[in-house]
Structure formats: C-alpha cells, structure tokens
Structure 1
C-alpha cells in the first residue's frame, strides 16, 4: 500500500481508481479467476452496504450457483470495516493483476503535476499581488512627497506675502479652512457611494484598508478639483487682461496698419507676377506647341494674421470651417447658427472583468429589478443614458444567462431634458432605424440610409458606416459597432470619454435569435 500517504492517494481515491481500472481493462488487458472475482465482488458489497443484509441482496434462485457463492463470500466477511474492505480490495487486485501498478503510477504522476501547476499559479498570483502592493506603496509615498513639497512651497509663498502685506488675521484663516471643509464635504457626498463600492471590491474583508483607501481617493479628488478651479480662475484673469489690452488700442491705428500692410503686400504680389510673366515669355517660344497656356499662380504671406481673421469674421459672406482628424468639416457662420460640427471622438475602452465572474456579477444585481431586463426573441433593447453635468466619462458592465447577445454603443447629439435612464424595445434594428428616419423627416428626400446592425454581420465598409452624423436634430455617431459578445461567460465592461452633451445609446441586439429570450444584467454609471 505504498500509494497511500500525503504525497500519494488517499484511501477513497485509490479504491475508486481500482474500480475504474477493472471496468476499463477487465476482459481486454487481463482476466481474473473465479475466486478473485468472488472476493472483489464481496469486498465491493461490503464497502457499499456494510455487513451482509438480506434486504440489500436480491434473492438467489436454486440454480444460481454464482449468486449463492457471492452471497456466501459476502457473509464470510462478517463485520469488516469499510476502510479495511477497501484496503483488501486493492490488495487482491494488485496481487491478481500486475498491470495495476503502472496504471496507478501514471495517475499519481498526473495528480502531482496538477498539484504542482496549481501551486505555481498560486505563487505567481501571490507575487503579482505583492508587486502591485509595492507599486501602490511607492506611488503613495511619491504622492505624499509631492504634497509635502507643494505644502512647503505654499508656506514659503505665504511667508513672503506676509512679509510684504503684513500678517494674516485669524479670521481669514478660519474662513479659508471653513471654505475648504465645505468643499470637501460636498465632494465627499457626491463620490461616497462610488468610492465605497470600489474600496469594497479592492479589500472585501478588511474594513481598515477600505477606510484608508476611501480617504486617499477623497484627498486625490479634492486636490484635482482645486487644481481645476485655480486653472479656470487663471484662464479667466488672462482673458480679461487680453480684452482690456484690445480695448485700449485705438481703432484708427488698427485701420492704418491694415491699409499699409495691404498696400505693401499688393505691391509685392504685383512685382512677383511681373517677374514670372517675363520668365515665361522667354521660355515659352520653345514650348508653344505643348498645349494651351497655363497662367502662373501667385502666393504671398500677410504679416498680420489676427487682423485677417477679424476681417473674415466681419464679412458675412465668408465662413469658418473646423476640421478634425476623425471629423467632418461643416461650414459655420460667424453668428454661430450653422450646422453642427462633429468633434474629435475619443476611442472607447472595452475589457472583461477577470476578478469578478459572471455568476457573481449576476448574483449582485439579481435583487435589483432595474438592473435586469428580459429581451425577447428578435428584439433590440436600447438603453438611453443622458450625459451628466458632473461627469466626464460613462462606464458600463453587463452579462447574460446561458447565451450570448449583440452589443454596440452609439452617441446621439441631442440634449435630454432629464438625467433619467430609459429603456426602449423594438422588434429589430431595421425597424428601429426606420422609426428614427421617419421621426427626423427624412421621407421628403427619399435618400435615408439604413444600416442593419446584425449580431452575426460586420459593419459595412466606408466612412459612412464608421461615423454617420446627418445634419438633423438626431445626429448619431457610432462608437462601438454591434457584435455578438460572449457575455454569458464573462462580465463585459467598457468606458468612453464624453464627446459633449448628448445621449448614449447602449444597444443589446437579440434580433438574430428567433426562439430564445435572454436575461440581461447591466450596470451604467458616470465618473470624472
């Protein structure tokens, strides 16, 4: 019984392996004698049912010799314990079949390899956790050092100010501290739920670490907010100073400088044109038969770009055009009443949560009826999420039961009257697009484009399929095309930076499924 021990099998594992060995190999790789069969069968009955019982054994007929022998052998074991019966079973099989030893050795090696692999994975995970903790500590120390340096600089600046303007009164200090406390309280109230959830996910069983992490996040949020406030104040002061300087300059001097620069530029352009004409007349005799004469182009630079832009803005016949690397250029009049211009759209981020399984995620949201949706066969559900004034980024998480579903994200350039999240259900993506086209009044032109967002199909080629932004009241940009996602296996997450004010359209497409309904578990929130 050298296969028993901490580094080998326990008794139950060894017994089950021997039973499986008999079922797989007996009659093929080896043959047992009649007596060995009786002994193995009797010990197997002893392990399963204990000592012989008449109700546990079927009746034996007069001519059933084998049944009578098995019954007698089982009765002969008496009150043999279950563990001893298992050991005797293994010993009888090991003595009767030499092939059992290599079979058990192979399974033992496989078990050790599996245990070693699990141990290595656990050690690697532990090393990664230690590395992350060390990085967090280093970042925290670096941040504390920066805060200390900033505080020292601020104290030095306050000392210099006090030396010039006199000491600051205690009333001013108390007022400043009171304002900071009010700002901190307001910011902490806004982010209390989000920071508490994040801390619970990072340290689920340690309340002290949760409180410490929440305090760090609140301090970082406060510092970022104050930095933004200072930057905005500085920008406003600079704009006011520039406006004052522009108002102080006399209008007559601006007109004189404009006329003089225009005269000089026109004279330079005329001289340049005359030189080009003379050069072409000298060289044009040899090339007269090459084709019609092409007049030369003239180019020059103007010295005052700011004055040129003011002239363009004063002339209503001209327009301004804003062009982005991923946007469409649309004319805009000086009064600001032109068509909407598509701004540079940030790329979305998508990932699968490896720390939270789909079952755990669904268990968290199962009690919340607002976080669950039943999507019928052939239906497309659109979750409309308006942008929030206090947020700058949207985050989504979702999973389904048993089956995959199509998912995509769009952005509608309309301002919602409220911040409420609404859900719209349609039979298919084609029907949804036709309704949008009818609502926007595109039936007059007869040229509305429809794009089918099927879960099995890929988006159409061309710029129109990647970004479409018609000049109407419901212009929609495609952020993520609809594809089928294996969200029944993993929790799918994603985020996107606000391109502006509007409504996010989270589409869950079940139009490709004609018979199955899908249960959707989702969570949407905004961050800064």
Structure 2
C-alpha cells in the first residue's frame, strides 16, 4: 500500500515538473517533444551530448511509445534472434508497459534535459525568439488598428468637409441665382426694346439676344462687386500694415528692439448687402462714319439712353471671392456664342481703383498723373476683354445692310479706325470678321483732346507705318541726314498706349469681338493690319459701339 502511494506521488511530482517546463518556456507538450527529438537528432554523437548505450535504448523506447503507443508484437516482427540491438530496443519498449503517449513525451523531454543541459539553453533561446515574434506581431496589429482608425477618422473628416463644401456651393449657387433673377427682371424691358430693334420679326432671335445680354450683364455686375470687395480687402491690409508699422516704431523707441512686425493676411470678407435697385443701361451708338485719308462722313444715327448708375451695392457670398476677367455686354447677337476672354495685362481698371492723391484732371478732361519733376504721366490701362462668336454668316449679312461698315483693305496696307471717346460713354465695343483670309488686329489708345465724335478711317501702306514707327521711336534725338528737316516742322504726336498688340486673327472663321472701359478722354485706334500679305486684299466687316 505504501509502495503504491509512493509511486503515485512520484507520478504527480513528474507531472508538475513537466507542467512547469511547458509553462516556463511557453511551448506546448507536442512542440517541446518535436524540438527535443530534432535537437537529439542533430547533436547526438557530438560534444554537446554523450549518451550511454542504455540511455540511447531508453530514448528510442520513449520515442516509439510517444509516437506509436504501447508495444505490440506486430511492431517488431522484423527483429531477428541474432539482432542484439533490435532485441534490446524491443525489450526496452516492452518495459514501458501501458505508459501513455503524453507521459512518454514528458519522460523524453525530462531525460534530455537531465543528460544535456545545452537543450535548456536551446529552449530559452527559442522562447525569447517566440516572445519577440509575439511582441512584433502585437505591435503590428496595434499599428494596423491605429492606422485603420486614423483612416476612418480622415475619411469621416473628408466626408464632412465635402458635405460642407457642397452645402456652401449650393447656398452660393442659390444666392447667385436669386441675384441673377433680380437683375434679369430689372434689365428685361431695356434689353427687350433693344432686341426688338435688332430683330424685328424674329422672336426666337430676340429671346436669345435677351438671354445673352442678361447673362453678360450679370457677369459684369459680379465682376464689379468682386472688385469692390478686393479693394476693400486691400484697404484693410494697408491700414493693418500702417498700424503695425506705427506699433513697431513705438516698440523700437521704447525698447530699442529691431523691427519684427509681420503682416497678417486678411481673411475676413466685408459685409455685403442686397442687389441694386437699378442697373446701368446698354447704349447702342450710331454706326461709325468712314473717311479715306482726309475725307470724313457725318454720323448717321443716334439713340438716346438713360443715365448710367455708377454705384452698386454689394452682395453676400460665403466663400472668398477672387477677381476675374471683365465680361462686358455684346451689342449684337447671333446663335451659338462662344466667349473666350483674352486678357492682355494685369492692370486693374481705373474706374474700379481709388485715384491717388497725386492724380488730377488735365484741361482736356483726361486723367493724368503729375510726377515730381513736373512731366506728365498717364495711368495704367485696364486689360481689354475679347471673345469670339461662330455666327459669322449672319453677322456679315447684317453688316452689309449698314452704311460704310465694309472696308476693302489692299495688300500691304494697314487700316486704322479712329474712334473718339463719347462724352456720355464709359466703354467701347467692337466686332469684326473677314472673307476667306485672316487679318491682323490691335487696339491702341491715343491720349489727345477729342474735337468731335466722328469716327474716321485712315489707310496706310507698310512704308508709312515704318516711317511713323521711326518717328515715334526711342531714338528721336538722332537725326537722319537723308530725311532732312521735314519732321522737325510737324507737331509732336499724342502719346499712345498699347491695349491689345497686333496679332493675326482667324476672323474668316469666326467673329472677333471685344470691349474696353474708357481710361479718359482720347481716341481709340483699331488697327487692321494686312501688311504681311503681298498679294491678297482683305474684305473687312466691322462694328463699333459704346456703352453708358
């Protein structure tokens, strides 16, 4: 009885020992057994492990018991009577009796730990390696979890921003629609009268012209509002800059510290109000009279107009507004209008910008600036707006019916249409087309006193243009002996500003049109250049208007 209790206590002690081994290294029993077999296979016969014959038999028997189970005669049929080693192994296996596979594995591991201490270091190394793998795996999982969470947060923020932008866009579009509807109601009677004059028996063309004029008038109005807001922002920035400079100077005087004032951007928009109650009308001037050289014809038609209202109240848009190219009203309409604004400069309009304190009106009424040395200076001109239309056939048919609106430009010639500024006007409009071939076009402004409102046409060849360029050149102080003194008797020519440089335009394919706000009193020079063509003459169809 006592012997059986002793054996049971030994078994429980062994189980606790094997359990402590598995817990100590963090491996399961099967993994420990496989590692032990692999280690014994690799190290047997080396200096790491030296086993006696009985110990080898014990390892083989335990391995058989752990993998196959209890000994049976069928497992050792091939062992002969003279096979000493085979019989010893069979006998050692038989002595294990009914030992279970788990007990055999535990016994195998404990025996290897007793006979080879290096196996313990081997297990510890694997245990550390597994712990490191587990740690890296957990860190990777945590990192992926954080990334997924951050991605969800970013996606949510993007959705919120997109939703807010969509709401702001809808609100802005709704406000723009309301403003446009109000403007359309105010301008409809005026545009309807003008459309009936242009197309008396064509209701569809009248409606299309009214729609086009209202759309362009809306764009022009919005541009003026944007410009007012931009000017207000610039004034606020200048005030902030001045205040900061004063504050910095005071700090320097009190603390003798270097100036470190920094301008802060002004992100606040000025308060805006409703749309205006009245809008500026469109004025259709008389068709220009023509002269060739010194000949001139009188104007043939004049239409009255309502005085322009210059001031506009502001409207409210939530998003910051940026200035865009001025889009003026076109004075004729044909189907399929394509507008392509071509800005020729970055200066702002004189009408939209506050005039400097040094600016003054000269005796002839145009705006000029006085420099410190007393010489006359001229303000910067606003860029011109240009666009094209596709209804060239209808345009030519309409122009042919008007008097002196078709000009034939010979090869090598340049035609200059001189259009004085009108006392009641604020903006000039032009449109032209040609037959079969292109033509060069440019726009200039001559700062001179307006004697009359007569539109004249001057025709010159390439030699005259070169001579004029030579006279107006920068080297006027150099005199040409061969030319003599004929140029000295001529009065000095008025100063000219280039608004649109001369470029060849495909006016035989589509109508070229444009507009420009008056910078002051003077004469617009519309140059149609055919000097590059040595053989072909060009037929020009054109119109010139002004707007109040």
Which category describes the TM-score, using the shorter chain as reference length? Answer: 0.3 to 0.5
> Max radius of gyration: which structure?
2
Q: Which has the higher helix share?
A: 1
* TM-score scaled by length of structure 1: 0.35
* TM-score scaled by length of structure 2: 0.34
